[in-house]
Amino acid sequence: MKSKPAKFAAALAAIVLIAWIGVPRLLVALGLHPHHEIPPMDLAGRRALVVTTSQATLGDGGKATGVFASELTVPYYAFTDAGMAVDVASIKGGPIPIEPGSRGWPVASDADRRSLADPDFDSKVQHSLAIASVDARVYDIVFLAGGWGAAYDLGQSEALGGKVSEAYANGAVVGGVCHGPLGLLQAKAPDGTPLVRGRRISAVTDKQIEELGITFTPMHPERDLRAAGVVFESESRFRDLFATHVAVDGRIVTGQNQNSGAEAAHRMMETLGSGAARGG
């Protein structure tokens, strides 16, 4: 017969195990990182670029931040699994800051866990290309990852805007998720007009930012994209953290938040594979 301390320890271990398994499943059931089935695609010979922030803190010396992990890992593996050659760039180049905890329990996605055992991925993250040094014309897809850090440098980067403009003019599919679409703000269409003006775009909502209590960043995607003349699209839930939406407008594909990465990557590849990538 077990002693009382042994019974207590066994009960505690059971509770911990149930929580360890159950909390992530509960978050998925609520809408975090919903499963999105990407059918097999053969895009061998095509190239994708995933671009992230270089901002590691909320403000000068504030709380650590960076790219939200799944907004990098999910598209990276979606493109890789379709046979694409995938490069990773950031605004400054070098090591990419990743939002603390975003690759851990209970919010880690399957792609996040996969990345932890992938030395090739880790090398690309530790030695990311500086966006100014990239030849954007060689890429078929340019995906802009989000995270709070992106509010500090994607929309402010003339270099990124120029590279997106070059890629788009050369027929690439461009877009991103969450704060990533801020990187479209300085891009130009081939006729010299703002690329996003009048286009259907999704990104993280003002509501989600307010719910998470991080309203002090210099740029807010919904607010600033609307100000640039976009037709803003989103869905809403009891907490927008659990919502998701993807907008496809020609060769511009954007997703609302961290839940939208798989579908956004899928729609970008679908657009590319359909031949629409040489259209408008």
Q: What percent of the chain has pLDDT over 70?
A: 91
- In terms of Cα–Cα distance, which of 103, 147, 150, 114 is closest to 131? 150
Whole-number pLDDT of residue 93: 98
Mean pLDDT for 15-28 is 71
When the pLDDT of each residue in the chain is averaged and rounded to a whole number, the result is: 93
DSSP per-residue letters across 191-210: TSSBTTTT-EEE---HHHHH
Q: Is the pLDDT of residue 277 over 90?
A: no
H helices of the chain, in order, are: 4-30, 70-81, 110-115, 119-126, 150-153, 158-169, 206-212, 221-227, 261-273
Phi, psi of 205 (to 5 degrees): -85, 155
Give the CATH superfamily of 44-278. Answer: Class I glutamine amidotransferase (GATase) domain (3.40.50.880)
Considering only CA atoms, which of 261, 232, 2, 274 is closest in space to residue 115?
261
pLDDT at 279: 46
In the chain, % of residues over pLDDT 90: 85
Distance CA 233, CA 46 (A): 29
Per the structure block, which two tokens stand in for 146? 């989000």
Does the pTM of the predicted model rise above 0.85? Answer: yes
Residues 20, 22, 27, 29, Cα dihedral to 10°: 160
pLDDT of residue 3: 72
Q: How confident is the model at residue 274 (pLDDT cuts 50, 70, 90)?
A: confident
Please determine, for residue 20, whether its predicted confidence score (pLDDT) is greater than 80.
no
Q: Per residue in 76-110, pLDDT tens? A: 999 999 999 999 999 999 999 999 999 999 999 99
Per-residue pLDDT tens for 43-77?
999 999 999 999 999 988 889 999 999 999 999 99
**How high is the pLDDT of residue 19?**
53
pLDDT of residue 18: 58
Average pLDDT for 150-171: 98
| Stretch 184-195: mean pLDDT | 98
pLDDT at 53: 98
